[in-house]
Amino acid sequence: MSAFAQLARVFLLVALCCSAAYADMYPNLVVAAANIPDAGLATENNAGDVAVPALGAVKPSLDKFGQDRLEPAEPFGLPLSAALPADLPAKWQELQSRLLADEKVLAACRADESVCSRAARRFLSIVDLAREREGRARLGWVNRAVNLSIRPVSDLEQYGYLDFWASPLQTLGSGAGDCEDYAIVKYVALRDMGFDPTDLRFVIVRDTARQTDHAVVAVRDDQGWLILDNRTMAILNAEDARQYQPLFSLDQQSVRAFASAVDHATDR
């Protein structure tokens, strides 16, 4: 099997592995919103004519990101490669339509609280309370609040698919998800709070200690990259997360692989 074909298998393994690892680490975690009902769709709130800032359609690019930015250009300080599984850009693109639907629901909720779903209220509460904090405390609030709002459940158990990337309101609506779902909620919450999109990454990593694939959010600050992880309430420096081998980096404009992803697939 070619290295690229093996790369495509990584994403099936992420869905099976990441939520189980979190459950092992926090078996007694109290979930704050485990019973939140369905988030609802944009049509439910009649928000179709509400103007909202769009995330923008993802246009995968293989160009080197951050040429005009100070180092570190990418999380974990590692170079990027042009190698990608064929389905990864399509999966990220498909998620964007659900994110845009969420944005309409949230815009309607901000305009008229009476149309808010409980999932929308929860998301906006996380964002609004985080805005009252500064620096790492702001990131820490988002990381902790999201971790406590979701109980770890595999995609197969919840959706009947091995790998499904839910929108924030879908995840908060069910109160359950796997590591990718935690990371997507945090990524979108930070975007909503006004973080520069070029300073945010959705990163798929290989946890070499547990021998599982996992998803986290990376945020660039003045000193480097910080990691928001559903396995810990602490904010980590990327260089200190030595058990994580970065595989793929996704952001608003691009979907790229780290050079280590090819080595990972070759070794499998």
Q: What DSSP letter does each residue of 39-90 carry, written as one string?
A: ---GGGGT-TT-------------SPS-TTSPSP-SGGG--EES---TTHHH
Say if CB 88 and CB 248 are below 8 A apart.
yes
* Phi, psi for residue 255 in degrees, rounded to 5: -130, 115
pLDDT score recorded for residue 151:
97
Count of other CB atoms within 10 angstroms of residue 140: 17
**Residues 6 or more apart from 198 whose CB is under 8 A from it?**
65, 66, 69, 220, 251, 252
Query: Mean pLDDT over residues 245-259, rounded?
Result: 87
In this predicted structure, what is the pLDDT of residue 36?
32
pLDDT score for 255: 86
Residue 16, pLDDT > 70, answer no
Q: Cα(108)–Cα(122) distance, rounded to whole angstroms?
A: 14
| 186-230 pLDDT per residue, tens | 999 999 999 999 999 999 999 999 999 999 999 998 878 999 999
Burial of 32 (0-12, 13-18, 19+ CB in 10 A): middle
d(CA 201, CA 216): 8
Whether residue 23 is predicted with pLDDT greater than 50 in this model: the reply is no
Q: What distance lies between CA 120 and its chain's CA centroid?
A: 17
Give residue 157's Cα distance to chain centre. 20
For the chain, domains (ranges, CATH) are 3-35+58-267 (3.10.620.30)
Q: Which residues of 47-59 are buried (b: 16+ CB within 10 A; e: fewer)?
A: beebebeebeebe
Q: By the 8 A CB rule, do 165 and 95 touch? A: yes
* Most confident segment among 27-36, 40-49, 60-69, 170-179: 170-179
What percent of the chain is predicted at pLDDT more than 90?
54
Residue with the bigger pLDDT between 90 and 146: it is 146
Render pLDDT for 53-67 as a digit per residue (tens, 0 to 9): 333 333 333 333 334
Rounded Cα distance, 24 and 243, in Å: 17
Q: How far apart are CA 151 and CA 178, in angstroms?
A: 8
Side-chain half-sphere CA neighbours of 205 within 13 A: 26
CA-to-CA dists, residue 175 to 31, 48, 181, 190, 255, angstroms = 8, 26, 10, 19, 28
